[in-house]
Amino acid sequence: MSDFAERVRDGSAVVGIIGLGYVGIPLALRVKEVGLPVLGFDIDADRVAALNIGQSPIRHISDDRIASMRANGFEATDDFVRVAECDALLICVPTPLDKTREPDLSFVTATMEAIAPHLRDGQMISLESTTWPGTTREILLPYLERAGHVAGETAYLVYSPEREDPGNRAFNTQTIPKIVGGYTPACLKAGLALYGAFIDKVVPVSSTDAAEMVKLLENIHRSINIGMVNEMKVLTDRMGLDLFEIVDAAATKPFGFTPYYPGPGIGGHCIPIDPFYLTWKAREYGLHTRFIELAGEINAGMPRYVVDKVVRALNGAGKSLKGAKILALGIAYKRDVDDMRESPSVFVMEHLRDWGAALSYSDPNVPVFPTMREHQFDLASIDLTPETLAGFDAVILLTDHTDFDYDMIRQHAPLIIDTRGKFREGSDKIVRA
C-alpha cells in the first residue's frame, strides 16, 4: 500500500476511469485538475473519438473543458489491454434493471471480464456504480482471485458510490463528500489515499457492503418522500387544493421538515432503479420491503395519472385524445440537463402515442430524441413561438427548464397541463397534474 499511496502523493499514479458518461467524465475532469494522469475507457468508439478531439457528449459540460483536459494529457480509449498502464481503475458503468425489475449487472461483469486478464500487482479497483450490498465482495472479488490476486495484499478492492447530480450548480465532484469502503483495512487505506487527493471530504465506512447500503439508503429516502408527495398531489387535487402551495408553506418550518415536490413521476439513473436493488436483495433474507415497493409503485403510476388529466382536460374542451395535437414541454428527467435516463416524460409520451395522440416535443437541451434501450421516437425538438403554441390542442409541462418562456406559453397555449407547479394562478385553461 505504501507504494500506491506514494504514487498518489507524488502525482504519478495513473487513474483509469471505465465508463465515460455522466459519472465518469466529471470524475475524469476533477482527477485531471489535481494533476494526476487520467486514461478513460469506454466501449462506445464514437464517444471515445469525440472526447479525443475535445468534444463533450454532455450538454452541461462544455467542449472547452474537454479540450483543456485533452490538452493536459487526457486520453480516451476502447482498448482494455491498456488497463495495465493504470494504478487505479474506477468503474462507472450502468447498473440498470431488467424487464422483471431484477438487477442487471451485465455491464459490471463485462467490465471485469475485459480488465481481469490485464490486471497487475499493486492496482486499486473501485466500483462506483450503484448496486446491492455484497456486489463488490460477491461479484468483483472472485474476478481478482481468479486472476491470481489477493485483495489487500497484491491488489486493493474498494466500493465508493458516485454522487453526481447533473446540472447542480451548488455542488460538484470536488465538493460532494465521498463514501469509501474497502474490502480490507489496506484496501480502505488505498481508497482514502486516492479519493482524498481530489475530493474535499472523504467519509470512510467499515466495509464495501456498508458503502453499497449507504448509496441505496440515500436514494430510497428520496424515492419514498417523492412517492408520498405524489400520492398527496392526487389527494389534494381531488380536494381542490394546491400541493405546491402547501409544500412551500410547510417548508417555512425551520426543523423537522424537508420539502419534496411532486411531478409526472421520477427519473434519472438512481431513484427509479436503486430501491429495487435492495428489495431484490432483501428476498435473500426472507424479507419483503413493502414500504420501498409501495413508493416505487406510486411513482411508476404517475405518468398514467398525467395522461388521465390530459384526457379529462381535452374532454372539457370538447376534444378527443385520439388525433389531438399534443406538445410535450421538457423530456429530460430533470431541469436544465440533457439526461434522458428513465425520464417520466418518455413514459407519458408513450401512453399518449398508444392512445393515438399526434405528439411533438420541445426541449432546448435535447435537440433530437436520442436512441434509448427501450424507448424510441422519431422526433426533434421544435422551437417555441406564439404560432407553434397556438397550433396545439394541449401543451404538457413535464420538465420545467429555465430556458422556457413561461409568460409566452401561458399567453398562447390554448390548454396547459402543468405537472411542475409553474403556473400557479387560477385559469380555465391551466390544469394541474
Same domain, 285 and 381: yes
82-104 pLDDT, tens digit per residue, is: 999 999 999 999 998 887 778 89
Which residue in this structure is represented by grid cell 458518461?
21
Q: What is the mean pLDDT of residues 348-364?
A: 97
Residue 234 maps to a domain: no
Q: Is 270 a catalytic residue?
A: yes
Q: Residue 39 forms beta bridges with which residues? A: 16, 75
Structural domain contains residue 225? no
Spatial CB neighbours of 411, under 8 Å, sequence gap ≥ 6: 386
More confident residue, 107 or 276: 107
Same domain, 196 and 287: no
Report how many domains make up the chain. 2
Domain shared by 174 and 299, yes or no:
no
CB 432 within 8 A of CB 364: no
Catalytic residue among 86, 92, 187, 270: 270
Q: Per the domain annotation, does 304 fall within a domain?
A: yes
Distances (CA, A) of 285 to 33, 185, 256, 295, 364: 44, 27, 33, 21, 46
Question: Contact at 8 Å (CB) between 58 and 338?
Answer: yes
Give pLDDT tens digits for 386-408: 999 999 999 999 999 999 999 99
Q: Is 222 within a domain?
A: no
Question: 3-state SS of 202-229?
Answer: EEEECCHHHHHHHHHHHHHHHHHHHHHH
Does 323 share its domain with 385? yes
Give me the chain's average pLDDT, please: 94
Same domain flag for 166 and 246: no
Q: Work out the average pLDDT over 72-79.
A: 96
> Are 270 and 192 in a shared domain?
no
> What is the rounded CA–CA span in Å between residue 1 and residue 123?
9
Looking at the chain, how many residues does it have? 433
Q: What values do phi and psi take at 13, rounded to 5? A: -65, 125
352 contact partners, CB below 8 Å, separation of at least 6: 307, 310, 321, 326, 359
Residues 160 and 283 in one domain: no
In a domain, 228, yes or no: no
15 and 81 co-located in one domain:
yes
pLDDT of residue 191: 98
Residues 122-166 pLDDT 10s? 999 999 999 999 999 999 999 999 999 999 999 999 999 999 887
Query: Within this chain, do residues 176 and 292 fall inside the same structural domain, yes or no?
Result: no
What pLDDT is stored for residue 1 in this prediction?
Answer: 58
- Residue 193 corresponds to which amino acid? A
Specify if 220 maps to a domain: no
Do 269 and 130 belong to one domain? no
Beta bridge partners of residue 397, listed in sequence order: 329, 418
CA 8 – CA 196 distance, rounded (Å)? 10
Cell numbers 416505487 correspond to what residue? Answer: 296
Last residue of a domain, one of 207, 225, 258: 207
SS3 159: strand
In whole angstroms, give the CA distance from residue 273 to residue 386: 39
Backbone angles phi, psi at 217, to 5 degrees: -60, -45
When pLDDT is averaged across residues 5-33 and rounded to a whole number, the result is 96
CA distance 215 to 227: 18
The CATH number of the domain holding residue 415 is: 3.40.50.720
Across the range 324-351, mean pLDDT stands at 94
Is the same domain home to 137 and 248?
Answer: no
Considering the domain architecture, whether residues 300 and 418 belong to the same structural domain is answered as: yes
The answer to whether residue 236 sits within a structural domain is no
The answer to whether residue 167 scores a pLDDT higher than 90 is no
Closest CA to 214 of 178, 257, 188: 178
What is residue 368's three-state secondary structure?
A: strand
Question: What integer is the mean pLDDT of 7-33?
Answer: 96
Helices (H) and strands (E) in the chain, counts: 15, 13
- CA angle at 248 for the pair 242 and 249, rounded to the nearest 5°: 90
Tens digit of each residue's pLDDT (9 = 90 or more) over 230-285: 999 999 999 999 999 999 999 999 999 999 999 999 887 777 788 888 888 888 89
Dmax over CA atoms of the chain, in Å, equals 75
Grid coordinates standing for 137?
465482495
pLDDT for res 272:
76
Q: How far apart (Å, rounded) are the C-alpha atoms in residues 371 and 326?
A: 22
Inside any domain, residue 345: yes
Strands of the sheet containing 15-18, edge to edge, are: 75-77, 38-41, 15-18, 88-91, 123-127, 155-159, 178-182, 202-205
Q: What is the pLDDT of residue 143?
A: 97
Q: What are phi and psi of 37, to 5 degrees?
A: -65, 140
Domain final residue, candidates 188, 207, 226: 207
Q: Is the pLDDT of residue 415 over 70?
A: yes
Structural domain of residue 87, as residue ranges? 2-207
Residue 330 near residue 363, CB atoms below 8 Å? yes
Is 250:257 a contact under the CB 8 Å cutoff?
Answer: yes
How many Å from the N-terminal Cα to the C-terminal Cα in the chain? 56
